[in-house]
């Protein structure tokens, strides 16, 4: 299968495996880790347009951390107001994103419930307005990440995709579920294929890619230009090297843990890094089926050196 890549706008993507945006997960350290392990494109965690407009330091601190090795990187924005999205996108340009992505897929109630994220699927005129306002005026490509519709009675992924293309969108990433599904049921890859057949801009398929076989199957079923991996990347960053978790030696697991912690220490104080790292460590060590006690021993370590010693013992290196 051809994994050589694709291009959109002025961006050439060197490879077909894309790291999904995940709030609370895909910070700069994890993005850099995934890029080093073969992800060819990545996105920021979603950014609330209101935070940008009101100069919240929360997003600024994160936006300032983007490194050269993460590029190409898209900054993803969410809001329910096209004017706010426009203002935020323009303000974000000072951090030099390679592209701006509009979140049209977030299903969580505090976002979709106020008409942002997947809530925009119910208001196609707002999507048109966002793309009309921005696609010609931004100096970087404008893209979208969508779901299939609000619920199973309002699938509108084909018309939304067409509209995004017609109004200047350069690429569409599709999570093959509705808003109502959240993360339940399974992703509908046939729908992603239908989008791919409908539009001429690149389509990235997303949803339920867990194994190397899934990567191949997603491309076969959908003919998508890129495969986006979210949750499974946390347990197995080696997926981007087309390697199953069962192929990874304990030495490699240890090396990855060291690498990830070193990246985190560039951006966070040690105590913060250790706390943030727990969710990753939990996933990296899933094959060991650790009980609560064993996890507590790891999570209670007060510095990185002690944690690495404890992991080393556990992996019996």
Ligand X SMILES: Cc1cc2nc3c(=O)[nH]c(=O)nc-3n(C[C@H](O)[C@H](O)[C@H](O)COP(=O)(O)O)c2cc1C
**Three-class DSSP category at 292:** helix
CB of 305 to ligand X, least distance (A): 29
Using CB under 6 A, pick the residue from 6, 11, 17, 21 that binds ligand X. 21
Q: Does 51 bind ligand X (CB under 6 A)?
A: no
Q: Does 46 bind ligand X (CB under 6 A)?
A: yes
Site for ligand X in 146-185 (CB under 6 A): 175
Element (H, E) at 235: helix 231-235
Site for ligand X in 221-260 (CB under 6 A): 229-232
Using CB under 6 A, pick the residue from 9, 105, 141, 237 that binds ligand X. 105
Sign of CA dihedral 21, 22, 27, 31: negative
Q: Does 209 bind ligand X (CB under 6 A)?
A: yes
Could you tell me the two tokens for 138?
A: 């931004």
Nearer to ligand X among residue 202 and residue 304 (C-beta): 202
CB of 304 to ligand X, least distance (A): 24
Alpha helix positions (H), 71-184: 82-92, 109-112, 124-134, 157-166
Q: Does 48 bind ligand X (CB under 6 A)?
A: no
* Residue 72 near residue 41 (C-beta atoms within 8 A): yes
Which neighbouring-strand residues pair with 104? 146
CB of 187 to ligand X, least distance (A): 6
**Three-class DSSP category at 169:** coil
In DSSP notation, 27-41 reads -HHHHHHHHHTT--B
**Three-class DSSP category at 113:** coil
Catalytic residues: 106
CB of 312 to ligand X, least distance (A): 29
Given the rule CB under 6 A, which residues bind ligand X? 20-25, 45-46, 76, 103, 105-106, 145, 175, 206-209, 229-232
């Amino acid at each position: 299968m051809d994994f050589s890549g694709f291009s959109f706008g002025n961006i050439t993507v060197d490879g077909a495996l894309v790291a999904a945006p995940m709030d609370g997960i895909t910070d700069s350290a994890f993005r850099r880790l995934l890029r080093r392990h073969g992800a060819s494109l990545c996105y920021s965690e979603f950014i609330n347009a209101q935070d940008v407009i009101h100069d919240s330091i929360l997003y600024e601190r994160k936006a300032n951390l983007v490194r050269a090795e993460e590029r190409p990187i898209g900054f993803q924005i969410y809001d329910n107001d096209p004017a706010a999205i426009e203002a935020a996108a323009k303000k974000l340009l000072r951090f030099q994103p390679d592209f701006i992505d509009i979140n049209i897929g977030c299903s969580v109630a505090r976002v979709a419930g106020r008409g942002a994220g997947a809530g925009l699927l119910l208001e196609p005129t707002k999507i048109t307005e966002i793309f009309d306002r921005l696609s010609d005026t931004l100096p970087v490509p404008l893209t979208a990440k969508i779901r299939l519709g609000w619920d199973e009675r309002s699938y509108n992924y084909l018309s939304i995709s067409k509209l995004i293309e017609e109004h200047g969108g350069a690429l569409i990433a599709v999570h093959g579920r509705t808003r109502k599904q959240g993360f339940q049921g399974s992703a509908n890859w046939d729908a992603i294929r239908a989008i791919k057949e409908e539009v001429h801009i690149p389509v990235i398929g997303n949803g339920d890619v867990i194994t190397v076989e899934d990567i191949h199957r997603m491309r076969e079923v959908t003919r998508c230009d890129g495969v986006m991996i979210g949750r499974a990347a946390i347990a197995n960053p080696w997926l981007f090297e087309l390697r199953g978790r069962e192929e990874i030696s304990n030495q490699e697991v240890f090396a990855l843990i060291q690498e990830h912690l070193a990246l985190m220490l560039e951006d966070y104080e040690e105590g913060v890094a250790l706390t943030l790292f727990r969710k990753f460590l939990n996933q990296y060590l899933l094959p060991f089926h650790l009980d609560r006690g064993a996890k507590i021993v790891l999570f209670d370590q007060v510095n990185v050196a002690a944690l690495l010693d404890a992991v080393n013992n556990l992996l019996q290196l």
